[in-house]
Amino acid sequence: MEMELKNPDIRYVHQMENVIVDKEWAQKNSQKELYYMYRGVKEKDGLRYDVTVIPALLMGNEFAKTKGHEHSSLHMETYTVLEGEAIFLMQKGKGDIQDVYAIKAKKGDSVILPKDYSHITINPSETETLKMSNWVSKECVSDYKLIDEKKGAAYFFTKNGWIKNNNYSNVPEMRLEEPLKEMPQNLDFLK
C-alpha cells in the first residue's frame, strides 16, 4: 500500500551553498529545489518515520545529496532505500576525522547510522530519483554545525569519483561497508 506524502520540508540550493563544491553553480541555481523531507509520516512507540526524496541532479560535477548532520542527542537512526540507489557517507570526529566509510545501498537495503557519526546521503544517479525512509527517535536532535563549518562532509562524490574535503585537519582513507538486506524487527535501540 502506497502512503500519500504531503507538505514536505523543501531543501533549496541556497540553504546548502556552503556544502556544495561548485560555488558558481550554487549561486546560479540558488532557488532550485534539491530534496524533499516528509517528516512524521507516521509514529510508533516514540519513533518517527520520515521519507526523503532526492531527485536525480548534478550540482555542477557533484551528485545531489543531503546537507548532512550529526545527532547531538546521540540517537541512532535507520534508513531503508525505497526507490533508486543511495550512498550513505558516515564520518566520526570533528575537525580531525578518525573514521569515514560509505555504504552503497539499493532498493530494499537498509543501514544503521551509528550514534557518534555525522552522515550525509547521496543520490549517485543522473537519471533515477532516490526515495528513502528512516526511523528515528522523536527525541533526536540534528546538529548541522560541523558539516556547515567544514563546508561539507569529509568527501564529496562527483562524476570523477570521491574528492577529499581539505577543510578538515585529517581525513583518513574511506572504507566501504555493505548494507543490511533487511531492517531489524526490533527498533528499541533507536530510543
Q: Which domains are present in the chain?
A: 9-179 (2.60.120.10)
pLDDT at 94: 83
Confidence at 158, pLDDT banded by 50, 70, 90 = very high
Residue 146 has pLDDT above 80, yes or no: yes
Dist CA 78 CA 183 (whole Å)? 8
In this prediction, what percent of the chain has a pLDDT beyond 70? Answer: 98
Average predicted confidence (pLDDT) for the chain: 95
pLDDT at 2: 58
State mean pLDDT over 71-86.
94
Q: What is the DSSP letter of 19?
A: G
Residue 3 has pLDDT above 90, yes or no: no
Do the Cβ atoms of 47 and 41 come closer than 8 Å? no
In the chain, the amino acid numbered 1 is M
Q: Which helix (H) or strand (E) holds 143?
A: strand 142-143
pTM assigned to the model: 0.95
pLDDT at 115: 87
Q: Which helix (H) or strand (E) holds 145?
A: helix 145-149
pLDDT at 191: 92
Residue 189 has pLDDT above 60, yes or no: yes
